[in-house]
A and B are shown apart, each in its own frame.
Chain A
Amino acid sequence: MERRDFLKSLLLSGLSLKLDPITYAKPATPELAVIEGEDPEAITREAIRALGGMNKFISRGDKVLIKPNIGWDRTPEMAACTNPQVVKALVEMAYQAGAKEVIVMDHTINQPKRCYIRSGIQEAAQQAGAKVLFTDEQRLKRMKLNGEWLKEWEVFQDFVEVDKLINVPIAKVHSLSRVTLGMKNWLGAIGGSRNRLHQKIDQAMVDLTAFFKPTLTVLDGYRILVRNGPQGGRTSDTKLMKTVVAGQDPVAVDAYGVTFFAYQPSELLFLKLAQQRGLGKFELEKVRIEKRKI
């Protein structure tokens, strides 16, 4: 490339950036991609593509940790754990984007092995080449979280040693926080006596999200849990939404997830606290959303 051409293109691109989106008819990449479709894998891929592709989030040589919800000894049709196909698609895309290593792990509630196997996540993620690990209590370290409420807590080092974190929660109801989506999923990255966090659950969720700062949140809304949360137990407790919501803003993703249920984002304390903390925005009318059906 000639120097002149280079300067010219630099100038043009600079201009176009400044004038965007007026000069360019093409819409800017959305902040939130909401894709509906029959195949969990396909809608996950489409959602990431709509956000600009995995290359936008993952660089060559990155170590990536994908954090699904594998908390319960439940099969996928119970909608207690993240859909294994969604996890699989993300692992594959992370590798395609040049990730050096992709780890999939969660701190489960039931016996880890049962959760990993019966949720189908271990098999699906391994098929895609991920390293599926059980959490290891010798890898816990008490860390400064500098949260509003949680100043320090035991964190599995695997989650802080990686370059990129992808949060892949599933949308479920919960008796205390009313819904459990992306922000609450971070309770699975820590050790210690997690059950005490319930005493101020909304603040705990915000403090943890601020600490972990996920690169990307991909909410599995393929089959959601509408009753008897957060583990269900009957297929009649679930509802097919066939949707995946993805975005970089963890608050916006959760705010959209709330609309799967009979709530408004403004009703939920943790969303308000998160916005006040500057983690993102829950007012969906202010969020650029691309919503499609495939």
Chain B
Amino acid sequence: MKREKSKKYFWLQRLRIFSQIFFFVLFIFLLLKTHYAGEDYLKPTVERYFHFDPLLALTTIIGSRLLYAALLLSLITVLLTLFFGRFVCGWVCPLGSLHQFFSFLFKKARLLKPQKDDRQSLGLKYLILVLVLLASLLTVNLAGYLDPLSFVYRSFAVFVSPLIKFAMFEVAGLAYHLGLKSTGQAINQALENLALNSTFQNALFIGLFFLGALLLNSLKERFWCRYLCPTGALLGLFSRFNLLKLKIDPEKCINCHLCSIQCETNARPYPADEWRSSECVYCNTCAAICPTAAISFPLRWKAEKIRGVDLNRRKVLLTSLTTLLVAPIFKITSHRQRSYPALIRPPGALPEEQFLAKCVKCGECMKVCPTNGLQPALTEAGPEGVWTPVLVPRIGYCEYYCSLCSQVCPTGAIRELTIEEKTQVKIGTAWVNKNRCLPYALGKSCIVCEEHCPVSPKAIQLVRVETLTPEGKLVSNLAPFIVQESCIGCGICENKCPVVDEPAIRVSSIGEHRSRKNRLILEVQDENEGESNH
């Protein structure tokens, strides 16, 4: 018999690789475009990717009990998956493509050797899915940690893009050093225009997780997609009865096992009845490499018996029970009772409970923040809020006329605000530490905080204070006084305070508009008060 590979599937495989590159490059391009480019309002960019993610839609809608219209786009993904299987994993997902690429590299380097009859269970990701979904029912949002889009965006925003910036900066420095002034200048001007943020607290963990996920590909091809990805698992459930079914022509098949060995996700195309449509990502590798072109994916409407997902009732039950026990642990925290002073959320952030249920920790707000002030939380927001955005004024303040973070949030955890609305939102309150403030403590003139206060009339007013020096001299200086009612908590005062290590003026979350509890002034309307003052 003449042996010949399938031309059709060869080209389909090529097309799939092209599609992966296209969607990956588009993702990175849109990610880089997520910054202030001269317009107050950004057009929808990379958050569109998130809107097509059914896991994020499901968990945030269940968790917050709120519908967010844009996420309904994910129904399109569900529908397509119902008909055509998990092609999104194989053709579109940027993290999947990255894993595929690294698996390819590891295979080339002979670090990864595909096994012949790999029977390792692929069920873990379904258990993770059960865990994530049940947790969201208990309003604990864990989807963001393992959702591929959140994972890849966060990793790029917090870890990869700072690396790029450092590298470029070093190159520019070298260019200046070598006397190539215009090259150095061109690089640094471009960096300023790109507005890449380069400072992130606990970027170490986020970076290590990312590198770890990539390294796992040396153990098994597309390790993440096979064993961990809850979004892939969800799509797998939907794809079980899709129309594109693998078919092996028994007349042509020479039982070489090549298809099963090289299957990206171990969907076991061979032997014939072992193939699982819920694991297949339609990469077309098996059909393309089959030496006799025995494999095809014909469109078939007829229902037929297909192997189910690698799960049993006992495992699912056990996972559910575990989740029910574990998820509440996330809530045993003082953060639920009392607001945490350093928990300054971006303007437009929903009340904390809803915010936590909706935020998927993707890091889009951190990428777009023009001052680098939005940072992934570690302890500020309690156990549920690890890697949710928090404003750290010492790193960057909230730019007065900017509402970009509220525009890019893919799930509406940060409500979209116009610039006018944004300038009215109070996210915290500034406090002067008189023991460190130069005029109060040292009798030196300063007023830097007052100068920078963007509110008009200023929320930092000046009072004259007298400080007694050891020489017995009274020094008189202007010193800051915070007007609680007008302070919006933007933190520029803290950011620019010359006492750099522990600023003499600091913002805490008290007074934030989104919380009814985290307030300090009792606003009682006394009808006579207004008149008696005049």
Contacts and interface: CB of A to CB of B under 8 A. Distances in A.
Contacts of A199: 438, 444-446
21 contacts: A109-B452, A111-B371, A112-B192, A114-B401, A118-B401, A136-B184, A136-B185, A136-B188, A138-B169, A138-B173, A138-B176, A176-B447, A193-B498, A193-B500, A195-B497, A198-B445, A198-B447, A201-B445, A230-B451, A231-B454, A237-B456
A231 B401 CA distance: 13
A139 B185 CA distance: 9
Nearest to A201: B445
A174 interface: yes
Contacts of A230: 451
Contacts of A193: 498, 500
Interface residues of B, number: 39
A140 B158 CA distance: 27
Interface in B424-475: 438, 444-448, 450-452, 454-458, 462
Interface string B204-243: 0000000000000000000000000000000000000000
B401 A176 contact: no
A223 to B, nearest CB: 15
Given A175-B478, A176-B478, A198-B447, A133 B185 contact: yes
Interface of A: 73, 109-114, 117-118, 133-134, 136, 138-139, 174-176, 193, 195-196, 198-201, 227-234, 237
B322 interface: no
B402 interface: yes
B399, B451, B462, B478: most-surrounded residue (chain A CB, <10 A): B451
Contacts of A133: 185, 189
A229 B452 CA distance: 9
A136 B402 CA distance: 23
A133 B400 CA distance: 23
Given A113-B36, A175-B450, 13 more contacts: A111-B36, A111-B402, A113-B38, A117-B38, A134-B192, A136-B184, A138-B176, A175-B447, A176-B478, A193-B500, A198-B445, A228-B456, A233-B454
Contacts of A114: 36, 370, 399, 401-402
A196 B456 contact: no
Interface string B401-432: 11000000000000000000000000000000
Contacts of A139: 176
A227 B455 CA distance: 12
B172 A138 contact: yes
B478 A198 contact: no
Contacts of B446: 176, 195, 198-199
A174 B131 CA distance: 58
B510 interface: no
B193 interface: yes
B480 to A, nearest CB: 10
A118 B176 CA distance: 30
B247 to A, nearest CB: 56
B496 interface: yes
Contacts of B195: 111, 113
A108 to B, nearest CB: 10
A247 B401 CA distance: 35
Interface in B150-196: 169, 172-173, 176, 184-185, 188-189, 192-193, 195
Given A198-B447, A228-B457, A111 B370 contact: yes
Interface of B: 36, 38, 169, 172-173, 176, 184-185, 188-189, 192-193, 195, 370-371, 399-402, 438, 444-448, 450-452, 454-458, 462, 478, 496-498, 500
A140 to B, nearest CB: 11
Contacts of A195: 446, 448, 496-498
Contacts of A134: 188-189, 192
A36 to B, nearest CB: 27
A113 B400 CA distance: 14
A167 to B, nearest CB: 20
Nearest to B400: A73
Which 6 pairs across A and B sit closest by C-beta, in order of nearness? A233-B456, A111-B370, A134-B192, A195-B448, A195-B498, A136-B188
Nearest to A174: B451
A175, A201, A237: most-surrounded residue (chain B CB, <10 A): A175
A112, A117, A199, A201: most-surrounded residue (chain B CB, <10 A): A199
A231 B456 CA distance: 9
Contacts of B500: 193
A110 B500 CA distance: 18
A111 B462 CA distance: 26
A73 B452 contact: no
Contacts of B454: 231, 233
Contacts of A109: 452, 496
Contact of B189 (A136, A174, A234): A136
Contacts of B402: 111, 114
A110 B399 contact: yes
Nearest to B438: A199
A136 B185 CA distance: 8
Contacts of A136: 184-185, 188-189, 192
A227 B461 CA distance: 12
A196 B447 CA distance: 10
Nearest to B37: A113
Contacts of A112: 192
A111 B399 contact: yes
Contacts of B450: 175
B70 to A, nearest CB: 27
A134, A138, A198, A232: most-surrounded residue (chain B CB, <10 A): A138
Nearest to B185: A136
A196 to B, nearest CB: 5
B436 to A, nearest CB: 14
A118, A174, A195: most-surrounded residue (chain B CB, <10 A): A195
B445 A176 contact: yes
A275 B231 CA distance: 72
Contacts of B176: 138-139
A113 B192 contact: yes
A233 B455 contact: yes
A103 to B, nearest CB: 11
B304 to A, nearest CB: 59
